[in-house]
Amino acid sequence: MSKVFFSHGKESGPWGTKIQHLARVAEKYGYGVVSPDYRQTPDPESRVEQLLRTVKEQGEPRVLVGSSMGGYVATLASQKLRPAGLFLMAPAFYLPGYLEQDPRPGAEQTEVVHGWDDRVVPAQHAIRFAERHKACLHLLCAGHQLTEELPTVVKLFDVFLQKLCDATD
């Protein structure tokens, strides 16, 4: 069974509101869902290693999804895992304290969803990443958590998974 691996942000948990909603979409497409718990370590590089270990135990991912620091984690892991899809929400790119300052996605398709009003990771960081790596970018009237636009984020993820399914047909 193909799997979607979710990586939560620094201040959230493995089954936060966004992940719960997106997991239902993934399951609709027949994906298994895995969401590691990173709360024991605030270090992004340790989280990347934890995700790689989890994938080794659980099976190869078809899609990696990450929110905030989890977006950074998913992107770095994608360089080794080479998933079909990488779906990033308010990814923590180009910030102090992160080892890799210009992370390169390793997925066939990458999409980024970011809020114009994000006060944690400026929207300009998502624009820079998307432009540099030719990723599809969706900018919404929302803050860092994207909660104001959660239904839109869910629809975007649904369309993203549909595109991946269509690409394999």
Residue 169 has pLDDT above 80, yes or no: no
Q: What's CA 163's distance to the chain center, in Å?
A: 16
Q: What's CA 81's distance to the chain center, in Å?
A: 14
Q: Is the model's pTM score more than 0.85?
A: yes
Q: Please state the φ and ψ torsions of residue 36, each to the nearest 5 degrees.
A: -60, 155
The domains located in the chain, with CATH, are: 3-168 (3.40.50.1820)
Q: Residue 81: helix, strand or coil by DSSP? A: helix
Residue 39 has pLDDT above 70, yes or no: yes
Residue 144 has pLDDT above 80, yes or no: yes
Identify whether the C-beta of residue 69 lies closer than 8 Å to the C-beta of residue 11.
Answer: no
Q: Residue 31: helix, strand or coil by DSSP? A: coil
Residue 165 pLDDT grade (very low, low, confident, very high; cuts 50, 70, 90): confident
Measured CA to CA in angstroms, residue 145 lies from 8, 69, 83, 98 at distances of 11, 12, 25, 20
Where is 163: in which H helix or E strand?
A: helix 150-168
CB-based contacts of 157-163 (< 8 A; 24+ apart in sequence)? 157/22, 157/25, 157/26, 157/65, 157/87, 158/25, 158/28, 160/85, 160/87, 160/109, 160/111, 161/25, 161/26, 161/29, 161/31, 161/63, 161/85, 162/29, 163/109
- Going by the DSSP 8-state scheme, the letter that residue 140 receives in this structure is E
Query: What's the pLDDT tens digit per position in 41-91?
Result: 999 999 999 999 999 998 877 999 999 999 999 999 999 999 999 999 999
